[in-house]
Amino acid sequence: MTQTAGKTALVTGASRGIGAAIARRLAADGVLVAVHFGRRKADAEETVASIERSGGQAFAIRADFAADGALDTLFSELEAGLAGRPLNILVNNAAVYADPDDRAATQADSYVAGISEVTPEEFDRIFTVNVRAAFFVTQRSLPLLADGGRVINISSAVTRIAWPLLPYAMSKGALEIMAPRLANELGHRGITVNTIAPGITDDTETNSWLHHVPGAAEGVAAMTALRRLGRPSDIADVVALLASDEARWVTGQLVDASGGMALAPTPPGA
């Protein structure tokens, strides 16, 4: 156990992928975790069950951030689950890059769609879930958040490289602006606010194309200094560090967790 034992956390978008890994990692450190999900109830319940099988504590809460009234639902269920306890850790992880009901938009070719292919509806959904929800979830969390608490936003390395998915990259860029401003505003309460920027991470639905496109996994691994794909646990461990007392003097920062992605052109034959 660490200094986070006995604390509480809300992890948005925690039913699978990076969010689920974050929830499991925090729970392993003794944190009671609220596992938020939008549509994947079965996945969220499995995340909770896996935490409980390992001796941790968690509960699932549903709120579709693209729907009206989502925050009221979220905080009603969160407060019920906390049962009078304060919130200590908020992880804004929920994000979309396309409508999950649009199967065509989840294929590899969506990653090379130009600006002309993006619809206003897709653009609005991305910013609603990736930016607006994170902003107002944080706002609504402040009365519950204990002094000395942690706010951790999950961005992406795509804000710093010329990768496709322009609206997604734009939304993550907007999210990154939050940390330094909020860190300054909330510092008097001992609350730290930081952002983590993962690289292209394997074992996530968003990056399932890595295994559908011949040579993609090897090509992306070669783009990193550490010469491998990222794993959800790589990101979860950084979250656990920032959530701990060891990171008490780190705030307002953007932490790259990409394995050194795109630091320089990859030499031929490397």
Strand 57-62 with 145-154, pairing: unpaired
Look up residue 188 and give its two tokens: 């008097």
97 close to 75: Cβ distance less than 8 angstroms: no
Task: Beginning with the edge strand found earlier in the chain, give each strand of the sheet holding 57-62 in spatial order.
Answer: 57-62, 32-37, 8-11, 87-92, 145-154, 192-198, 254-257
60 close to 45: Cβ distance less than 8 angstroms: yes
pLDDT at 264 over 50: yes
Banded pLDDT at 154 (limits 50, 70, 90): very high
Report the phi/psi class of residue 23: left, alpha or beta, with left for phi > 0 and alpha for psi in -120 to 50: alpha
pLDDT tens per residue, range 184-241: 999 999 999 999 999 876 555 665 555 656 765 666 666 777 878 888 999 999 999 9
Given CA atoms 253, 2, 202, 175 in this order, what sign does their dihedral have?
Answer: negative
Of 44-48, 99-103, 253-257, the range with the lowest mean pLDDT is 99-103
Banded pLDDT at 138 (limits 50, 70, 90): very high
- Pick the residue with more confidence: 48 or 102? 48
Amino acid at 140: R
The pLDDT value recorded for residue 107 is 47
Banded pLDDT at 158 (limits 50, 70, 90): confident
- CA-CA distance, 179 to 191, in Å (whole number)? 11
Q: Which fold has domain 8-257?
A: Rossmann fold (3.40.50)
- Pick the residue with more confidence: 186 or 105? 186
Look up residue 165 and give its two tokens: 């998915």
2 close to 244: Cβ distance less than 8 angstroms: yes
| CB burial of residue 172 (10 Å; 0-12, 13-18, 19+) | buried
For the chain, give the mean pLDDT.
87
| Average pLDDT estimate for 54-65 | 97
* Rg of the chain on CA atoms, in Å: 18
Asked about 168 being catalytic, the answer comes back as: yes
pLDDT at 106 over 50: no
In terms of pTM, does the model score above 0.85? yes
- CA-CA distance, 257 to 152, in Å (whole number)? 13
- Pick the residue with more confidence: 242 or 218? 242
* Domain limits, the chain: 8-257
Of 32-41, 83-92, 113-122, 183-192, the range with the lowest mean pLDDT is 113-122
Q: Which of 40, 168, 192, 203 is catalytic?
A: 168
- Pick the residue with more confidence: 49 or 223? 49
pLDDT at 1 over 70: no
| Average pLDDT estimate for 88-112 | 67
